[in-house]
Amino acid sequence: MIDEASFCRRALEAVLTSPLFLIALVAAQPAAAQGVREHTRLVPRGTTVTQSQAEALTLTVSTVSPRLVQTWIRTAGTIDKTGKILTASLSGPDAALVKVGQRARAFPPSSKSSMYQAFVTRVIPHPDGVTVEASLASTGRQNTVLYVIEIVVERGPFLLVPNEAIIEEGDRHMVYVQQHPGEYVPQEIHIGIQGELQTQVLDGVKDGDQVVTFGSFFIDAEHKLKGTEQGPQTPLPR
């Protein structure tokens, strides 16, 4: 009789010497070698821009630093008979952000070019939110009752980058950090409050980093083109 160990050994020898197994093994070698090449291929980490290219693009960089972030609360309001006092109602999270003394601007819906500067002069709480009064710096447009009011709210300071520096890729946000003059490296960031001109950065860059603002899309295109020519790029850490 053949014991269990001997049976298993003979079965394994039969499989290893089978013509079908040898053909499959040979066919797998190129794929395995290709996988090794993909993992060892040098992929460009950054992008280099010449001085002439930078001048042609008017390429600019901005320093990451803690600053106040401005957001605008937009609402509709009416003006009184004097043509000077605007009144509007706010509810929800925006209501808690409005304070006396904040800057505002207002314009009729039919004429955005007729922009009036204003200041918040009164905030009246009520169960559903607040009623806001804002005083115009000059008399409003004649025969116009309805206005769009934009109240400037400043929060922070937070670590900020300019909005034009951020490149959106699906649900990811990227910036290009200047390592040395002419050399730029892509970096994923995680964002917080998005202001009108600046966006809060939670992580990904630090105070003092320089990020590309005007010209970032050109650098991004160059970086991706190099990656296409030289192979798949190594994903950035999330």
Determine the longest span between alpha carbons in the chain, in angstroms: 112
In Å, how far are 34, 171, 185, 233 from 39, measured between CA atoms? 9, 26, 20, 10
Q: Are strands 116-126 and 103-107 parallel, antiparallel or unpaired?
A: antiparallel
pLDDT tens-place string over residues 24-42: 444 444 444 444 434 333 3
What is the rounded CA–CA span in Å between residue 238 and residue 234?
12
The encoded tokens of residue 9 equal: 């050994």
**8/170: higher pLDDT:** 170
For residue 165, is it left (φ>0), alpha (ψ between -120 and 50) or beta? alpha
Find tokens 């794929």 and name the residue: 31
Other residues' Cβ atoms within 10 Å of the Cβ of residue 128: 11
Half-sphere exposure of 173 (CA within 13 A, CB side): 18
Strand partners, 62: 211
Residue ranges of domains in the chain, CATH in brackets: 47-67+157-230 (2.40.420.20), 70-155 (2.40.30.170)
Give pLDDT, residue 177. Answer: 94
Provide Rg for the chain, Cα atoms: 31
Query: What is residue 140's DSSP assignment?
Result: -
| Residue 35, beta-bridge partner list | none
Structure pTM?
0.67
DSSP state of 208: T
pLDDT for res 57:
66
pLDDT band at residue 225 under the 50/70/90 scheme: confident
**Is the predicted pLDDT of residue 203 greater than 60, yes or no?**
yes
Residue 212, number of CB atoms within 10 A of its CB:
27
At 98 the three-state DSSP class reads coil
The mean pLDDT of the chain is 81
Interval 117-165: pLDDT, tens:
999 999 999 999 999 999 999 999 989 999 999 999 999 999 999 999 9
C-alpha span between 12 and 113 (Å, rounded):
84
Q: If you average pLDDT over each of 23-27, 111-115, 197-201, which comes out highest?
A: 197-201
